[in-house]
Amino acid sequence: MLAELLADTEELVRCESPSSDPEALARSADVVARVGERRLGVAPERLGIHLRWRLGDGSGVLLLGHHDTVWPLGTLDTHPYTVDGGVMRGPGCFDMKVGLAMAFHAAAGRSGVTVLVTGDEEIGSPGSRELIEEEARKAGAALVLEASADGGALKTERKGVSNYEVVVTGRAAHAGLEPERGHNATIELAHQILAIAALADPSRGTTVTPTLLSSGTSVNTVPARGSVAVDVRVLDEAEQTRVDVAMRALRPVVPGTTLELRGGPNRPPLQASASEALFARAAALSKELGLPDLRGVAVGGASDGNFTAGVGTPTLDGLGAIGGGAHADDEHVLVDALPDRARLLAALVEDLLAGATTPSARTGAPRP
């Protein structure tokens, strides 16, 4: 099994797939289709850069992953695919091409499984969210093949995400001759950034972080335009709503400036209640297989598992590779851990299919 997993992963990693490059994603989708067909025996449905395999009616278990990565074309030249000393390296190996290979192996020969591989997760899943939610509503459980947390822990809780851009329009003027005739977008942004940062509530796990900032055109001109991006992470929907209402209530402070707010909630929280039962089943299976005790952790990062949990489907995330360095130069996978991880995933899929988990057995409350 390990040799096959490594061969499949190498094929996937060697086809670079940055989210921002449609042509690269199309090539990657071809490779994913080829690898998946080799393991599953059937070709996928091609939905643009997304791929779907329905095995049988596909209503038992949804295996979910993505083939896009954060790495630009040419990364293989500086970060080639290698396996050395029990460590795999290469762009996207940990996040999350090993997970795709694992999903194909776990689904092979089984009926009642849907494998969905999307191509835009790293940019917020703008083109695949409806597809993910549609498939999740049909499934009894969603297993997300994102990489594990530290030490192989499963991700049993994820924060919800909102993304905003605050755009300020003012009026330009010469900064030396007549600055009083301008309406300074930078000063307005300073007021707004302080107000936005104050919306965070650490006691409730809510972070509100101004990030990318841009303003002005030259060193001797009163800035007429500027913008700031805002990243929001929350543990529950009440907090996501609170911050959204407050963001939409922002008003300009500097006379003559105007505000425009773009964006909003992107992913609902994956709350612990959505994963509790599935984690318990996975932990029991791990003991039966003689594997180390499983741990579940809450993480700040989001995934497409937020969407499956958001429609009420029991969801367990982080079932993919064990390693580290997602989105970083030291991205890596621990090869020796792969066989046991694959055994656990296959056992969990088989167990869920045998238990005939159906949408009616869901524990989460679906989003409207």
Instruction: Give catalytic residue positions.
Output: 68, 121
Nearest to 117 by CA among 94, 144, 140, 137: 144
User: 105 with 5: CB under 8 angstroms?
Assistant: yes
Q: How far apart are CA 86 and CA 93, in angstroms?
A: 14
Beta bridge partners of 89: 82, 332
**SS3 assignment for 277-297:** HHHHHHHHHHHHCCCCCCCEE
User: 203 with 233: CB under 8 angstroms?
Assistant: no
Q: How far apart are CA 262 and CA 253, in angstroms?
A: 19
Q: How many residues does the chain have?
A: 368
User: 104 with 40: CB under 8 angstroms?
Assistant: yes
Q: How far apart are CA 208 and CA 114, in angstroms?
A: 36
Q: How far apart are CA 308 and CA 302, in angstroms?
A: 12
Q: Is the dihedral of CA 37, 285, 331, 21 positive or negative?
A: positive
What is the Cα gyration radius of the chain?
23
Q: How far apart are CA 50 and CA 17, in angstroms?
A: 13
